[in-house]
Chains A and B, each alone.
Chain A
Amino acid sequence: MPGLLNAIVEGKIDTTFLISHRMSLEDAPKGYKMFHDNQNEVTKVVLKPGFAEPSVAAE
C-alpha cells in the first residue's frame, strides 16, 4: 500500500480525474440515483458531511 501512496505523491497515478460530482452527505440518496441512472456522466460521487453546496458538479 505505501507503494500506491508513493505513486500518488510522485504523480505516477492520477486519482482526482475520476470525481465527477461532490455533494453533501444529506444528498446521498440523490447521489445514488444519479450514479445509478447516468453512468456515462457520473463517474464518481464523493460525499462530504457538511458540504456547503449540495450537488455541485466537479470542475
Chain B
Amino acid sequence: MRALTWHGKHDVRVDTVDDPEILNPRDAIIKISSTAICGSDLHLYDGFIPTMKAGDILGHEFMGEVVETGPGSTLVKGQRVVVPFTIACGSCYHCGKHQYSACDNGNPADNQDIGMELYGQPMSGLFGYSHLTGGYAGGQAEYVRVPFSDVGPIVVPEGLDDDEVLFLSDILPTGWQAAENADIEPGDTVAVWGCGPVGLFAVQSAFLMGAARVIAIDHFPRRLELARKFGAETINFEESKTYEALMEMTGGIGPDAVIDAVGLEAHGFFVDNVVDQIKASTFLGTDRIHSIRQAIVACRKGGRVSMAASSTSSRSAPSWKRGLRSRPGRPACSTTCQVCSTRSSKARSTRPS
C-alpha cells in the first residue's frame, strides 16, 4: 500500500510499504477514506518529538471502511468508522473511569519504560506518533490496523459526510475537553490562546457551555476571522499587547477562565519566548510555552486554567500527558470555614452509628 512516512526533520515521503495485517484477535483493518494532517503532526515534522524512526507511518486523524476484522472485534465489514487517536484497551483501571488516554495497556511494555522515565507513568498508545506512544503505524495511508477495535471506533450514522465527522478522531473532542476543563459557568468570559483547529473548537464549545463572551488570541488574520465567525472577540497579539487588551476588555478583572490551545511551539517576540526558542534549538529545553505563562498571568484571581495544548517539557509534561488536575490557591479563609463546617456536619449526620 501507499503511506506517508517520516524520514527526518522536514522530510516526509509517500512510500510503498507492506499492507497491515490482523495481529491480535481484537484488531480490525480500516481502508482509509479521509485522513487529516494535525497541528501536532507538525511537531513531528519539525523534529520536536523524540523516538521517531525512519519509515514510521504518520497520521492520527482518520476514518474509513472496515475491511477485515479479528475474531474479537465488534466491528462489521463494510461499516464506516471514525477512529479516535488514543489506543485504549477498554478494561484497565483508567479505561474503567473512561480516561482512555491514560490506558495502562495501549502502549507495549518496552515503550512504557520510556514513558515511566519521562513522565512518572506510562502513556497510552497513539497512532502514528513516535515510539514513545507505541510505535503504531498511523492512518495517513491506504489502510491501517486498529488495535482494540471493539473500544475506540465510532460507527458513522448514514447521511453524514466524511468532512462532517472526521474531526471526532482528535481535534473536536480535544477542543471540547479544553473548554470542559475550564469548568465554564453560564455568563463567563473565556479567553482562548490559539485559533488553530483545537482553539476554534474550544471557542464553539465554550459558547455551547454557556460562556457569555469568548476572546480568541492569535496572530493569523484568517484564523482570527474564523473565530469571529463563531461570535468570539479577538486580539491579534502582533497588533495589541495581549495582557493589556484583556484587562481593558474585562474591566481590569481578567477572564474567568483561560484556555491554552497553543503550547509546544508558541510564537511571539517576547523575552521569555526568545529564551525558550534558544533553549529548544540547543536542546537545553524542549518546548516554547510562552502562551501558557501569559494565560496564567492574565486569568482573573480565582479563575480557571485549562491547558489543552501539547507539552513535552519536564516541567509540564508529566501533568499534561497524564491529565492531572491541580488546584493551587491560598484559601478563601472565611468561605472555607463555612463550607468545612457544613461538610463536616453533613458527614456526621450520615455516618453509621
Contact = CB atoms under 8 A, between A and B. Distances in A.
A45 B163 contact: no
B154 interface: yes
A34 B202 CA distance: 24
B136 interface: no
Interface residues of B, number: 49
A28 B164 contact: no
Interface string B217-248: 00011110010011000000000000000000
Interface residues of A, number: 34
Contacts of B161: 16
Nearest to B173: A4
B225 to A, nearest CB: 10
A29 to B, nearest CB: 5
Q: Which of A4, A26, A45 has the most CB of B within 10 A?
A: A4
Given A28-B140, A32-B45, A41-B222, A46 B14 contact: no
B200 interface: yes
Closest 8 interchain pairs by CB? A40-B220, A28-B4, A45-B37, A16-B163, A40-B222, A49-B142, A46-B36, A47-B35
25 contacts: A1-B154, A1-B168, A4-B172, A5-B154, A5-B157, A5-B165, A8-B168, A13-B172, A14-B204, A15-B167, A25-B2, A25-B142, A26-B14, A28-B37, A28-B140, A32-B45, A36-B10, A36-B45, A44-B37, A45-B36, A47-B4, A47-B140, A48-B33, A49-B2, A49-B32
Interface of B: 2-4, 10, 12-14, 32-37, 41-42, 45-46, 84, 140-142, 154, 157, 160-168, 172-173, 176, 196-197, 200-201, 204-205, 208, 220-223, 226, 229-230
